[in-house]
Structure 1
Amino acid sequence: MDSKTFKTEVVPMSGKLLRFAVRFLRDDEQARDVVQEVFMKLWSRRKDLAGVDNMEAYAMRMTRNLCVDEIQKHRTIPMEQLKARNEWISNMKQADELAEQKDTARLAKEIIDMLPEQQRAVIHLRDIEHYELNEIARVLDMQNSAVRANLSRARKKVRDEMIKRMNYGNPKSRNITGKVL
């Protein structure tokens, strides 16, 4: 293909190729660059174009492929942005987890505060202050078996109430004694 044939057969498709590229890229300047690149590739392959049956379809396909390449090129995230984005996501997850832990701790404290006095004292000394069972028995003037029984009952009530409140999403349903709040 010589320059005269190129000007008469290929260049007149520029408007159609440009509209097609704009529809893909939604950016006039990028579309012009793609069409320019299509013309440069067609010109560099002009000797092989004699075997092309439908020049317009060939040029449209080339335009489409270059548009897709352009879109993919701009979708890639530079490594610095990717690291910053991942760090931000990690910080957000940590903040969410911390907020959830605080909510859970607040709920547990609220439930513990509703326990009968002896159970409340036993669970506080064991699970919050980390006393040994025999130390708790001595402090509260109780038998070791009574400490274990009260601790077991208190933990069960706290666990059951937390499950109930978390499942129902209603923190003011009923207190541990069964009274409506």
Structure 2
Amino acid sequence: MKKISFTSDILPMKDILYRLALRITLSREEAEDIVQDTLIRVWNRRDSWDTIENIEAFALTVCRNMSLDRLRLHENQNASLDDTPVESNPTATANPYERTVQREKVQIVRQLIDALPEKQRACMQLRDMEGKTHKEIAAVLGITEEQVRVNIFRARQTIKQQFERYENYGLN
């Protein structure tokens, strides 16, 4: 069994932990605090690291649980995921109008993702943005792989349908 190092195995996960916490809490400050608390909690369990099968799944589970606890505590569901504008590639679209439309579409998709139920949002985040396998997501969220697939499918369908509705009718 590989010896786990905090510096080389756990600290590099802080960006993944941050994105997961941000996706759940929708607050940058809360996400930063949760990552710090997660790293402390994982560090405090250093004596039992050898018994943990997958340290990354363990850290993600701790982060998810802390995020959900914090969310319940603060009821912070109406905040925006990201208050800063999206930087688009200036060469991708030539004129300012097209870049503005593209930024608006990205913002709409973010809002649609933010409005998803927590489990669908977490599954989608871990799969589409973090590249985790269905098995890894199931371990982190404590659900079956089939439930992961269903949540991802439903999340994608919801976003697709609502985005098409917005595109066709301008309704949010």
The higher-RCO structure (CA 8 Å, 6+ apart) is: 2
Larger radius of gyration: 1
TM-score, normalised to structure 2, is 0.43
The structure with the greater share of residues assigned to helix is: 1
